[in-house]
Amino acid sequence: MRIAIIAISALVAASTAFAADSTSRVIPADWLPALSPSITSALQQLKHADSQSEMNLLSRQVADMTDAQLFIAYVRLYERLGPKEQQKLRDEQSRWLKQRSKAARDAVESQGASLAPLEANNAEVTFTEKRLVELRARLKALGKKDSDD
Task: For residue range 84-143, list pLDDT tens digits in order.
Answer: 999 999 999 999 999 999 999 999 999 889 999 999 999 999 999 999 999 999 999 998
| Inside any domain, residue 3 | no
| Inside any domain, residue 69 | yes
Q: Which of 85, 70, 6 is nearest to 39 (CA)?
A: 70
Band of residue 24 on the pLDDT scale cut at 50, 70, 90: low
Taking the whole predicted model, whether its pTM rises above 0.85 is answered as no
The residue among 48 and 148 whose pLDDT is bigger is: 48
| Inside any domain, residue 57 | yes
pLDDT of residue 4: 47
| Helix, strand, coil content of the chain in percent (nearest 5) | 80, 0, 20
| Inside any domain, residue 99 | yes
| Inside any domain, residue 74 | yes
**CATH code (residue 122):** 1.20.1270
| Separation of alpha carbons 43 and 59, rounded Å | 8
| Inside any domain, residue 135 | yes
Q: Which of 86, 93, 82, 91 is nearest to 131 (CA)?
A: 93
pLDDT over 70 (residue 10): no
| Inside any domain, residue 122 | yes
Number of domains forming the structure of the chain = 1
pLDDT digits (tens, 9 = 90+) for 32-76: 566 877 898 999 999 999 999 999 999 999 999 999 999 999 999
Question: Domain of 40?
Answer: 34-148
Band of residue 9 on the pLDDT scale cut at 50, 70, 90: low
| Inside any domain, residue 39 | yes
